Structure 1
Amino acid sequence: MRVLLQDDSSAHQFSEQLLDIGNGKMQIDNTNGMITLPENFCTILQTKEELVECVFPNIIQNHRSHDWLAERSILAPKNIHVNAMNFQIQEKLPGEVITYKSIDSVMDEDEAVNYPIEFLNSLEPPGTPPHLLNLKVGSPIILLRNINPPKMCNGTRLAIKKLMPNLIEATILNGKAKGENVLIPRIPMIPTDMPFNFKFAMTINKGQTFQICGVNLEESCFSHGQLYVACSRVGTAHRLFIHAPDSKTKNVVYQNVLD
């Protein structure tokens, strides 16, 4: 649907190429199991620096525009690459870095001796921030929990306005409450997919619809349909920027899922 809504003569071809990716019809090189992304499907970039510059051009001058921030993002398959990209982009912003540390603890005191604090600090379960969360005023952030739905829910994007020891003031970038200033407190977060319970203080699947989208494929997608989902965040080829060495990447599609 997002493709059909674009006033672009190439949108039809882009939609057909998207379907070929989603249906696993792109020709696969049997020697390495990879596909070659078509030149007219997106803008192929050979370095992460090029990707950042294409998606966030002149970021020092533009980052204070909330409309500009809201319409663009870079996606990656794994958190390790997301964190690296966030660090790289945030370094370009002016201002002081404020670090928030998680307060990790085992909920069952009898198990505390088996799980040292240093070990807990090293974990990064899905849906949780890192132990050391480095932020700057002006940085875009995304909520990982429902705090006050529908205004502040999982996936809401915001821009930081003020950083305080136990509170963040931010401006909502998307949704019906766009432009509203809100306060985000420290809250306990208790993952349920770990072998034990503990609490502490934007991958592809967290993506939304954007005007400009970058995809970092220095490491290929690893789950069914992940490449299709990433590329479908925009509606036309000229708004999609992909960092893929030699224009090659893996496209994981399980045909039995589609049948």
Structure 2
Amino acid sequence: MADGIRRSVDLGARIIVVALSDDEDSPDLRDATDYAHRSGALVVASAGNRDTTDNKEDTPRYPAAYPGALSVTALNSEGLPTYDSIHGKHIDVASPAQSVLTTATGAGDCIYAGDAPTSSFATAYVAGAAALLAQAYPHEGPDGWSYRLKATAQRPNQDSNDDQIGWGSIRPAAALSLRPDRSVRGPASPFADTTDSALPPPVTRVKLSESPSNDSSAAIAIAVGLGGIVILLTLLRRLRGRGSKPARDNSIGN
């Protein structure tokens, strides 16, 4: 892989597709990825598949996890992440990669990855979108092309990424039409300071309404309470007056 990346750069490639991954960090592979980045080329690499590796854990995969590379994970035919792909903090973007219609030598039209998404196809889609950006904005370089794809990707929260889809599912047309400035929400921008672009969380403010002072409120409560007691006592006295009769004098005077 390292030799292939270096050879591609030397031949003038600006978008380099690495549709495979390794779970071991290799100094040679790291140096080759850095060489590509310094030379103005973007390495678009698979973030890994669970069924093609002995390591099933969500750990970094290389060269996708190296600085300067664009790490790609796969989405199913419904556009959702699945257990079939390796996930983690090394994910940058995602792309649909199931039931892929393509061609094959001697086989005509074929559909690949019908049962489960495969990150190799997702990587190819993202690399194709990156190539369009490299053609449209050749002077922006790998950081600019990568940023456009991440900033315009579809995601639940515009201000943050996650371990399953990174910055979201790519939207090539949006990436091509993006006008990068400080208002663009999402990843750090190589074009402008977007530190303050995040939407602040909603703030709930409680405003106390104007009301009588505590002293007057207490006085009103006491007055109402005393009034109720007076009324209650009056009723009790009336009821007792109705229920009692004067005693009859049965004595005989002498």
Q: Shared fold (TM-score greater than 0.5)?
A: no
- TM-score, length-scaled by structure 2: 0.24
- TM-score, length-scaled by structure 1: 0.24
- Structure holding more strand per residue: 1
Relative contact order: is structure 1 or structure 2 higher (C-alpha 8 Å, sep ≥ 6)? 1
Larger Rg belongs to: 2
